[in-house]
């Protein structure tokens, strides 16, 4: 009873509620600006939390994180520019919906699926943290290797019109991801002695260039892109539509939770896995990529499902799963708390007060999101001749802001041209992105596995988790290829 009292004293302070509200609002706005990611917002907010109480400080950062996850989808849906990497998958169906005048529907679907996934993810954190953390620890390089193999099979389902074209761009993405220092020996690969390429190709400039710039180029080169004006960009989401996507949302959330609990995989992969799973199961499979609400729901529930779950390895093991949780770990340390088993022993009331706040943050996200959708929808009303120069400005700024590097602006423009070439030649862009993200993970884990196993290939088959992912990979490949051949036979003259 005394414990409960302490939790409530820690949690029920007006500061905490203000922190969550302000955090989520900042997150949504920053997340929605291309190039300004939730990671940056969390890093910038960190010094302001020094003077706050520990629980309030962490809740502010968690609020920004969650808001940012949703905010990134707004520009993905409205202007084909993912505000954050994790929302790259949302634009596959979100942007076509905007083009059809259904921006409001897409934004609402993104919000509701984000919030539902968030709640489920939080529940997983609160109820199963210690259990999921144990699974995460069993994820060594061989298990990761097969998880990445499984994720690579998704390329087939997001390849667009042609599987062969999809595989070609995915390979290009993998090649681009090889640029920079080799992770095992430190060899410089494909850098042509250019100092700026010695690390790796920066992700944010590539992302912005690939998706936003082709839209801008397309508009000015064709000068005929019709602007769709509908009353507040269409009607809102109906209950029936939400219900129809509910199973995708729940499955996406669970995928997000599992991926989130394993450090080092990330929300982008979760969104794509969830999307491809929903596509495989959907009767409207053919409509995916052309404006399917279920696609938005699956992508957003996948990436938001990660948000609560990344706190599982952080709180229970002290291991940050991504950059944002690494900053939150820093915040814990500044306030004299050490996440990990010791935190649960020594500061249990703080942990439970955080859990209360994290649950509340999902509700706040719903409220804030609801409030801002109205204004965000207006973006879809702005004539493109006015909107696109502003978008371009943000793109340049966003590409620069990540590393304060002018080279990155050039990189963004280069990938803009690449993206445009993909667009006019009918190559899908998403497999390129997936190749770029998964390529290094594939290579790293392949080489790590061989190093750990001292060259013995049997390590790839060392336990139930590896077998489970081998089976999933083979099944996924089998079904994808079967569908591909069936369609070829059907469309053959």
Q: In the complex, which residues of this chain contact another protein (CB under 8 A)?
A: 39-40, 42-43, 46-47, 50, 136-141, 181-188, 193, 195-196, 198-199, 263-264, 313, 317-321, 323-327, 329-330, 333-334, 336, 338-342, 403-405, 444, 448, 451-452, 454
222 or 454, CB closer to another protein? 454
CA distance 60 to 81: 26
184 or 367, CB closer to another protein? 184
137 or 171, CB closer to another protein? 137
Cα 351 versus chain centre, distance: 26
Q: What is the DSSP string of 70-115?
A: HHHHHHHHHHS--SSGGGGTTHHHHHHHHHTT-HHHHHHHHHHHHH
- Give least dist CB 317 to another protein, A: 7
- Give least dist CB 30 to another protein, A: 14
Closest CA to 196 of 490, 411, 485: 411
296 or 331, CB closer to another protein? 331
| Angle made by CA atoms 6, 10, 16, in degrees to the nearest 5 | 160
36 or 217, CB closer to another protein? 36
- Give least dist CB 230 to another protein, A: 40
- Give least dist CB 421 to another protein, A: 28
181 or 413, CB closer to another protein? 181
Contacts of 455 by beta carbon, 8 Å cutoff, 6+ apart? none
Q: Which long-range contacts (CB under 8 A, 24 or more apart) does 43-50 make?
A: 43/327, 46/327, 46/330, 46/331, 46/334, 49/331, 49/334, 50/334
Q: Which residue do the tokens 């079904």 mark?
A: 479
- Give least dist CB 208 to another protein, A: 18
384 or 462, CB closer to another protein? 462
SS3 of the chain: helix, strand, coil, percent, to 5: 80, 0, 20
Please list the alpha-helical segments (H only) found in 335-405: 341-346, 348-379, 384-403
312 or 430, CB closer to another protein? 312
Helix 293-309 and helix 267-281: axis angle, to 10°? 140
CA distance 243 to 144: 34
- Give least dist CB 352 to another protein, A: 19
- Give least dist CB 265 to another protein, A: 10
- Give least dist CB 46 to another protein, A: 6
């Amino acid at each position: 009873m005394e414990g409960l009292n302490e939790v409530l004293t820690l949690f029920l302070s007006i500061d905490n509620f203000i922190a969550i509200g302000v955090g989520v609002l900042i997150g949504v706005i920053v997340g929605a600006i291309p190039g300004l990611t939730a990671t940056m917002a969390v890093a910038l907010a960190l010094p302001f939390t020094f003077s706050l109480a520990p629980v309030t400080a962490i809740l502010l950062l968690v609020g920004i994180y969650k808001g940012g996850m949703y905010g990134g989808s707004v520009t993905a849906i409205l202007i084909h520019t993912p505000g954050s990497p994790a929302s790259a998958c949302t634009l596959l169906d979100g942007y076509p919906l905007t083009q059809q005048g259904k921006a409001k529907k897409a934004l609402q679907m993104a919000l509701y699926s984000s919030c539902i996934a968030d709640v489920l993810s939080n529940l997983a954190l609160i109820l199963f943290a210690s259990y999921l953390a144990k699974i995460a620890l069993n994820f060594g390089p061989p298990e990761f290797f097969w998880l990445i193999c499984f994720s690579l099979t998704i390329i087939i389902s997001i390849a667009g019109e042609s599987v062969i074209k999809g595989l070609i761009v995915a390979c290009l993405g993998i090649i681009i991801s090889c640029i920079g220092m080799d992770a095992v020996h430190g060899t410089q690969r494909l850098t042509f002695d250019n100092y700026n390429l010695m690390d790796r190709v920066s992700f944010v400039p590539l992302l912005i260039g690939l998706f936003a710039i082709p839209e801008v180029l397309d508009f000015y080169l064709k000068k005929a892109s019709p602007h769709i004006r509908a009353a507040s960009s269409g009607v809102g989401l109906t209950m029936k539509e939400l219900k129809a996507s509910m199973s995708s949302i729940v499955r996406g959330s669970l995928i997000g939770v599992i991926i989130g609990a394993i450090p080092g995989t990330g929300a982008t992969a979760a969104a794509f896995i969830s999307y491809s799973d929903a596509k495989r199961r959907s009767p409207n499979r053919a409509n995916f990529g052309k404006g399917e609400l279920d696609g938005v729901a699956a992508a957003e529930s996948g990436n938001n499902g990660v948000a609560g779950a990344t706190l599982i390895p952080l709180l229970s093991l002290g291991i940050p799963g991504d950059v944002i949780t690494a900053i939150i770990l820093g915040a814990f340390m500044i306030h004299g708390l050490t996440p990990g088993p010791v935190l649960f022993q020594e500061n249990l009331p703080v942990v439970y007060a955080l859990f209360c706040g994290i649950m509340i943050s999902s509700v706040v996200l719903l409220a804030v999101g609801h409030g801002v959708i109205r204004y965000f929808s207006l973006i879809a009303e702005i004539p493109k001749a006015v909107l696109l120069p502003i978008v371009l400005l943000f793109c340049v700024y966003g590409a620069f802001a990540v590393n304060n590097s002018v080279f990155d602006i050039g990189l963004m423009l280069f990938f803009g041209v690449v993206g445009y070439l993909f667009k006019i030649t009918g190559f899908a862009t998403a497999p390129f992105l997936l190749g770029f993200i998964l390529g290094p993970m594939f290579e790293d884990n392949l080489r790590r596995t061989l190093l750990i196993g001292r060259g013995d290939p049997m390590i790839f088959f060392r336990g139930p988790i590896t077998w489970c992912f081998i089976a999933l990979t083979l099944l996924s490949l089998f079904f994808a290829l079967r569908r591909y051949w069936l369609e070829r036979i059907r469309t053959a003259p």
